[in-house]
Amino acid sequence: MAGTPLDRNSIGSLIESSPHLLEDFLSLEGQLQPNGFDMTVRNVARLINPGAVGTEDAGRILSEAKVIEFGIDGWLWLEPGPYLATFNEIVNLPLNIMALGRPRSSLLRSGVAIHTAVWDAGYNGRSQALMVVYHPDGYYIQRDARIMQLVFFQMETGTSRGYQGRFQSENI
């Protein structure tokens, strides 16, 4: 039914169709959930300077980010604070599907939050999310860990013009 979240079978069918709803995932069986798809961490970056937002695009300045290297064992310790997480998966949304990202509960239960924007219909790219470590003793994260669930919604009617913003085809 249009206007509702997609279930596991619907998401799986869209992953197998062309163009693929998702690409570069690590394990279809491990990441496909009853009501979404688990996104895995490719890298984590520290925000190193302030950004800005104005009324015009020219006033929008993104914070620079410096990728933090995982240890040889694939683990990374994060001190409290904000980080930019880049996902392994590439998302390709058709004009009648949009998505919202929600943190996995194991992160929340450890004092870590994932903040996201809307994935607009027509978007494609390797997305990013803000990961904030609130726990005063920090947090350990392993490369390729599942950190967020992307929930897809079929829109009542598809948009005639998909996402056209500056993050189209990002990180590909």
> Which amino acid, one-letter code, is at 126?
R
pTM of the model: 0.95
> Which amino acid, one-letter code, is at 84?
L
- Write down the pLDDT at residue 3: 73
Mean pLDDT for the chain overall? 96
- Beta-bridged to residue 87, according to DSSP, are 41
DSSP string of 43-70, one letter each residue: EEEEE-S--B--SSGGG-BPPPEEEEPP
Domains detected in the chain:
8-49+63-154 (2.70.40.10)
Q: Is the pLDDT of residue 1 over 60?
A: no
In this prediction, residue 2 has a pLDDT band, given cuts at 50, 70 and 90, of: low
